[in-house]
Amino acid sequence: MESVRKKRRKARVDETLCVACGCCVKVCPLGAIAVVNGLYARVDTARCVGCGKCAKECPASVIEVQEVEV
């Protein structure tokens, strides 16, 4: 039996342009995003369901929801 590759939607932060304001953290319903050491936001892909709330909120628009294979 071959393993089935599933596609899932996950948020991805462009860390080079993130201003670490934390707006995404406030809107994430699953607590799946955090600001690391005041540098940038990082997504916990295990928890993220790709709802896109963070991407919509991000003032710098540096979060994208992408389809990834898991």
Partner 1 sequence: MKKTNQKHWYDYLWIASLLYLILGFFNILFAWLGILCFFIPLIISIVRGNKAYCNRYCGRGQLFSLIGGRFGLSRKRDVPRWMKSKAFRYGFLIFFFAMFFQMLWVTGLVFAGAADLRQVVTLLWTFKLPWHWAYHGTLIAPWMAQFAFGFYSVMLTSTVLGLITMILFKPRSWCVYCPMGTMTQLICKARHAGEKNSDKSDFVTEK
Binding residues for partner 1, per CB under 8 A?
Answer: 17, 19-23, 25-26, 28-39, 42, 44, 56-62
Q: Is 34 helix (H, G, I), strand (E, B) or coil?
A: strand
**Closest CB to partner 1 among residues 7, 22:** 22
**Closest CB to partner 1 among residues 25, 68:** 25
4, two tokens: 């089935």
**Closest CB to partner 1 among residues 21, 68:** 21
CB of 16 to partner 1, least distance (A): 9
- CA dist., res. 53 & res. 26, Å (int): 10
The answer to whether residues 20 and 48 touch, using CB atoms and an 8 Å cutoff, is: no
